[in-house]
Amino acid sequence: MTVRKQILLRVNHLQPGAVFSPADFADLGTPHAVGMALARLVRAGAIRRVSRGLYDVPRQHSLLGALSPDAEAVARALAARDHINLQPTGAYAANLLGLSDHVPMKLVYLTDGTPRILRVGDRRIILRHTTPKRMAAAGRVSGLVINALRWLGQKHVSADRLAPLRRRLNAKDKKRLLADARLAPAWVAKWMRWIASGDR
């Protein structure tokens, strides 16, 4: 069976919107053979190239046709491919936690990798290199909370605003907030402890 057919078999088992890279098929052939096979599948319309070295299975809408790639899935695939950590920050972090209704067109991540900007449909993924200390809570709820509160600013954070988040987080998440409060600025750490225990 050709490399292209083997890749297509795997692709056909993926969910629409799934994002992947050539590295996901490294066991099927040489990098050149995998790259050529993916290029043929793109030309055939079976998959779509969404960024350099990243592809997806297009999601289809009955009226709109092929939908734009899922920017969050692209970011996750990029992190897996390049073996880097990503931490949502800014308005994006606040939106993920339900602390802001604003849906940002820019998904901003802190990273320990190379800074770059990717265009995915009508959105942008911005990777900003930062210090190991800022990445210490990456991938955890505490990392989201730290970055969301920093973005909101001390004057715009209140018990009323954080109460829904406090109710929504489970005991494991709250325990993580307490453990990681030492990684946050003092005023953010106080609110992390309040979310976790009610003490401020």
On whether residue 76 sits in a domain, the answer given is no
Lookup: tokens for 196: 């976790």
CB distance 110 to 151 below 8 Å: no
Per DSSP, the residues of 72-108 read HHHHHHHHHHHT--EEE-HHHHHHHTTS-----SEEE
The verdict on 190 and 98 lying in the same domain is yes
The verdict on 153 and 106 lying in the same domain is yes
Q: Which domain holds residue 62?
A: 3-66
- Which CATH number do you get for residue 62? 1.10.10.10
pLDDT for residue 107: 92
- The amino acid present at 51, given as its one-letter code, is S
On whether residue 72 sits in a domain, the answer given is no
pLDDT for residue 120: 86
What is the pTM assigned to this prediction? 0.83
In eight-state DSSP terms, residue 181 is G
Alpha-carbon span 195 to 169, nearest angstrom: 9
Q: Work out the number of other CB atoms within 10 angstroms of the CB of residue 190.
A: 16
pLDDT for residue 173: 95
The verdict on 99 and 191 lying in the same domain is yes
- Write out pLDDT tens, residues 123-175: 899 999 999 989 999 989 999 999 999 999 999 999 999 999 999 999 999 99
The verdict on 56 and 101 lying in the same domain is no
On whether residue 77 sits in a domain, the answer given is no
